[in-house]
Amino acid sequence: MSLDGAARYTRSMPMITVQMMPGRTPEQKAELVERLTDVFLETCGNPGQPRHGVWVVIDEVPPEHWAVGGKLVAGPADEKS
């Protein structure tokens, strides 16, 4: 689908953003995108809504940019949690 074709769906187009650390295979990402699209359409979609009207963005965040509970996931090697 061209971007021109996609532009027609921007008003009703949901965008699902997934933020995760790198390390998944292209096959895992493809399955994730497919299943997220399916679940969205099953639970929130409009009758007849096309699959290409659901956009998914995978944002891979390196561990050194990810924190949980106030601690970086990939902190200095000598730091213990």
Q: What is the pTM of this model?
A: 0.73
Per-residue confidence (pLDDT) for residue 13, from 0 to 100? 81
Whether 14 is a known active-site residue: answer yes
Domain 3-68, second-level architecture: 2-Layer Sandwich (3.30)
Contacts of range 24-30, beta carbons closer than 8 Å, 24 or more positions apart = 29/58
Classify 70 in phi/psi space as left (phi over 0), alpha (psi -120 to 50) or beta.
Answer: left
Eight-class DSSP state of 53: G
Per-residue confidence (pLDDT) for residue 78, from 0 to 100? 41
Active-site option among 14, 50, 62, 63: 14
CA distance linking residue 74 with residue 76, whole number of Å = 7
Per-residue confidence (pLDDT) for residue 81, from 0 to 100? 47
Token pair in block for residue 45: 């979609």
Per-residue confidence (pLDDT) for residue 47, from 0 to 100? 85
Per-residue confidence (pLDDT) for residue 15, from 0 to 100? 95
Residues of the chain with pLDDT under 70: 1-12, 77-81
